[in-house]
Amino acid sequence: MIDIKFLRENPEAVKENIRKKYQEHKLELVDKVIELDSESRAVKQQADELRSNRNKVSKQIGALMAQGKKEEGMALKEEVTRQAQLLAELEEKEAKLSAEVTEIMMQIPQIIDESVPIGKDDSQNVEIERFGEPVVPDFEIPYHTEIMEKLNGIDLDSARKVAGNGFYYLMGDIARLHSAVISYARDFMIDRGFTYCVPPFMIRSNVVTGVMSFAEMDSMMYKIEGEDLYLIGTSEHSMIGKFIDTINKEENLPYTLTSYSPCFRKEKGAHGIEERGVYRIHQFEKQEMIVVCKPEESKMWFDKLWQNTVDLFRSLDIPVRTLECCSGDLADLKVRSLDVEAWSPRQKKYFEVGSCSNLGDAQARRLKIRVSGEGGKKYFAHTLNNTVVAPPRMLIAFLENNLNEDGSINIPVALRPYMGGKEVIK
């Protein structure tokens, strides 16, 4: 969420940012929020004047009563009562206007970083760098569920009967491989100095609206009926929520955390859920990383975070590339975002396996995550997040890149301790 003071002083800059994100329908919100904010401040000033006057008059009443001037004192009391009624009306109006301003401000996108390429959608994202040599073997690579089924590693039919499309049973060595990747990713991040955490898998609505836009919330989150709770779509949500309404000492920053969780997503508007595949699903598990830091350090941490994911995939013999997300592909709270894509030998192209985001002070402003700096000066922290690894999507890349012609799967050296020393899945 943008600083209202910045919007007041730079309305054209905010409008230009909206244009860069191809959200012209939101241009009118800038003028509307300025108007409502002006009215809100005027009402607040009037209410403050009444509160100040009430205190003065109360003292006068006391003095008059002490002097025996009861009639004059009672007249002033009536005036105080009248002003109290007016004050109550003003406070109600002030609260209403403040809520309207906040609601609109939460729809106005964050100012994007100057390095972000301008483009309408993900088709205009820009490739930055490739890591590892993409290889297409001289034998045909089956669809990923066929690879799993030949190893008795997946049961989609039973899952469909139990829960519907978008769910799965992982079995045997494939299930073990899934858990091994998560455990390896956990230790990989711990070795890089991150603190391991298992967070709550449900969060309250005030945390949801603090970490994501209304559009994301509608398309992703499952609501728990009768409760003020939502199933998390990613552990980043509850991890950032951990710092809600806190004042953190500057010398304690940055906080670097890596978290494990199941994730639940409606995948609304995702053009249907694949019946055969596990690329886009309602339930999966993920290892995440988040950083809470000083504003001047967020660009540095952004580069460190995506590099962690690249390094992990390369340690498992999977070629990857990085893509800078263009302006139109950025969610409203994001200042900058970079996708990590893994090579698919079957499709002969890359596909997304992780996303790194710098949210500036957007989440911190919504959740009141503040930092106490030099001289007690308080300011909003910056927050960042990135996917370490998210199987079973990551398993697609793993299986395709480590598949042998006879259908067996090579286990990279780094993962063998988590697979009981196995070198190959047959």
- Second-level CATH architecture of 122-425: 2-Layer Sandwich (3.30)
Could you confirm whether 16 is annotated as catalytic? no
Structure confidence at residue 79 (pLDDT): 67
For the segment 116-174, what is each residue's pLDDT rounded down to a tens digit? 999 999 999 999 999 999 999 999 999 999 999 999 999 999 999 999 988 999 999 99
For residue 89, what pLDDT band results from cuts at 50, 70 and 90? Answer: confident
Element (H or E) spanning 150, and its range? helix 144-150
- Of the residues 321, 336, 370, 393, only one is catalytic, namely 393
3-state helix, strand, coil in the chain (%, to 5): 50, 20, 30
Question: Which residue intervals of the chain bear CATH 3.30.930.10?
Answer: 122-425
In single-letter form, the type of residue at position 320 comes to V
Structure confidence at residue 65 (pLDDT): 62
- Of the residues 236, 238, 259, 265, only one is catalytic, namely 265
- Of the residues 324, 355, 357, 365, only one is catalytic, namely 355
Determine what percent of the chain is predicted with pLDDT higher than 70: 92
CATH of domain 4-105: 1.10.287.40
Could you say which DSSP state residue 403 is in? B
Could you say which DSSP state residue 291 is in? E
Could you confirm whether 238 is annotated as catalytic? no
Could you confirm whether 366 is annotated as catalytic? no
For the segment 246-297, what is each residue's pLDDT rounded down to a tens digit? 999 999 999 999 999 999 998 755 544 455 678 888 999 999 999 999 999 9
CA distance 343 to 79: 76
Among all chains, which residue has been given the structure tokens 């500036």? 360
Highest mean pLDDT among 69-78, 80-89, 106-115: 106-115
CA distance 26 to 111: 14
Q: How far is CA 318 from CA 35, 138, 312, 343, in A?
A: 53, 18, 9, 7
Could you confirm whether 365 is annotated as catalytic? no
CA distance 265 to 283: 7
Phi-psi region of 208 (alpha: psi -120 to 50; beta: other; left: phi over 0): alpha
Residue 30 corresponds to which tokens in the numbers above? Answer: 């800038």
Structure confidence at residue 268 (pLDDT): 59
For the ranges 25-29, 258-262, 389-393, the lowest mean pLDDT is seen at 389-393
Question: Which residue intervals of the chain bear CATH 1.10.287.40?
Answer: 4-105
Could you confirm whether 280 is annotated as catalytic? yes
118 contacts: CB under 8 Å, gap ≥ 6: 20, 326, 327, 328
- Of the residues 72, 216, 352, 416, only one is catalytic, namely 352
The DSSP bridge pattern shows strands 320-324 and 409-410 to be unpaired
- Of the residues 130, 160, 176, 280, only one is catalytic, namely 280
Q: Is the pTM of this model over 0.85?
A: yes
Helices (H), 257-372: 298-315, 362-367
Section 399-408 average pLDDT: 96
In single-letter form, the type of residue at position 85 comes to Q
